[in-house]
Amino acid sequence: MVQISLRNEVDEARQSSGLASIAADLASDQRAFKNVSWGKAMMWIFLLSDTFVFSCFLISYMTARMSTTVPWPNPSEVFALEIGGTSFPLLLIAIMTFVLISSSGTMAMAVNYGYRRDRVTTAMLMLATAVLGAAFVGMQAFEWTKLIHEGVRPWENPWGAAQFGSSFFMITGFHGTHVTFGVIFLIVIARKVLRGDYDVGRRGFFTSRKGNYESVEIMGLYWHFVDLVWVFIFAFFYLW
Amino acid sequence: MTHVATHDSAHHPIRLYLMVWGWLFVLSACSYMVDYFHLQGHLRYSLILLFMMLKAGLIVAVFMHMAWERLALIYAILLPIGAVLVFVVIMVLESDYTLLSRTLHPGLL
């Protein structure tokens, strides 16, 4: 028995990198993703499925834009903001991008302080992330209001191809919903961190399980994903 | 056992995240500049794609700690994305065909 387990450890050490390690992991007993908790693995798999959802939206937008004979409205002009008589192209969108990136920065640092078991700093950074996320949703609401006042509808708009409106509301709406849910869960997790739930092993009201500071990292995965999706929306919808 | 790719994201210095944050700012500013200076044609599209991929790579690799995950997880998440690219190719061909039909037979569609 001792010899067998020793040999297994040697095998594992040899296969800790390269394609052989993938084959070994996937063929192994009980769990494929070594060193990865179920919570983290499931969040990654959820994010992969969410990637497909957003991909379908962006691909249908691409299909609509490529196949229409009517000219596509110029996003650079549609989303321009006038300040003091000068028109800045995509100004609000650029600000929203910087706000969301900043929220990703504070989130990444929150994860780091979480593993250092610095309760207050972690919670404060998470709340800062939530505030930035809420600011992003607020600016998006402003943008929607502006466009609706200008006559953009899912079925028509004053500037060109009708699909512009439906693509815009669908893609940014779905992304904004993700941000909103992210903000809610950030506040929930930040409260747990601040209260010390992960230090004393207090059980969650919904799952009755003890949590740990990895919850902050899993929350972070979701939040960074929302930022990641915005990178693609910014490139394909606003800049293209 | 050698813990090469194990869970050591707890020991990253904050400086790493601040640097990535800074780079994301610079790259976002660059992609905004693409629009601000009205670059057109292939230059515009390749720059948009370049800055987009760099930003996405930084977020996934560092912020989401993908760079320190085990290969089996990295491949399980990244390989299926290839299906999306295949889908893109299919729909590009389909869109071209639709556009051609609409141009050739304007009254039909």
- CATH of residue A75's domain is 1.20.120.80
CB A96 within 8 A of CB A90: no
- Range with the largest mean pLDDT of A9-23, A186-200, B95-109: A186-200
Shared-domain flag, residues B21 and B64:
yes
Helices in A90-213 by DSSP H: which ranges?
A: 91-115, 119-149, 163-195, 197-200
| Test mutation, A9, A101, A221, A229, chain B, max B CBs within 10 A | A101
Residues A87 and A141 in one domain: yes
- Residue at B74 is within a domain: no
How many structural domains are present in chain A?
2
Position B40 in a domain:
yes
pTM (predicted TM-score): 0.90
**ipTM attached to this prediction:** 0.89
Q: Based on the fold, state whether residues A44 and A24 are members of the same structural domain.
A: no
> B27 to chain A: which residues are within 8 Å by CB?
none
The answer to whether A34 contacts B71, with C-beta atoms less than 8 Å apart, is no
Is the domain of A170 the same as that of A219?
Answer: yes
* C-beta atoms of B94 and A63 within 8 A: yes
Quote the percentage of chain A above a pLDDT of 70. Answer: 93
Of the partner residues B5, B25, B72, the one whose CB lies closest to the CB of residue A101: B25
- On whether both B3 and B36 belong to a single domain, the answer is yes
* Residues A41, A19 share a domain: no
Residues A73 and A175 in one domain: yes
What are A76-101's pLDDT values in tens digits? 888 988 888 888 888 899 999 999 99
Expressed as residue numbers, the domain containing B97 is 79-109
Q: How far apart are CA B64 and CA A225, in angstroms?
A: 8
Q: What is the pLDDT of residues A143-180, one digit of tens each?
A: 999 999 999 999 999 999 999 999 999 999 999 999 99
pLDDT in the model for residue A5: 58
Domains in chain B, number: 2
Q: Are A29 and A85 within one domain?
A: no
B52 → closest Cβ in A107, A115, A232: A232
Q: Are A126 and A111 within one domain?
A: yes
Contact A94 B106 (CB under 8 A): no
Residues 6+ apart with CB under 8 A from A148: none
**Chain A neighbors of B71, CB-CB under 8 A:** 17-19, 21-22, 25
| A195-216 average pLDDT score | 89
- B83 and B62 in a common domain: no
**Is B13 a domain residue?**
yes
User: Residue range A135-142: average pLDDT?
Assistant: 96
Long-range (24+ apart) CB contacts under 8 A made by B77-84 are B77/A44, B77/A45, B77/A47, B77/A48, B80/A48, B80/A52, B81/A48, B81/A51, B84/A51, B84/A52, B84/A55, B84/A59
Q: Which domain holds residue A16?
A: 1-35
Mean pLDDT for chain A? 90
Same domain, A95 and A7: no
Q: Which of A9, A67, A111 sits opposite B95 (nearest CB)?
A: A67
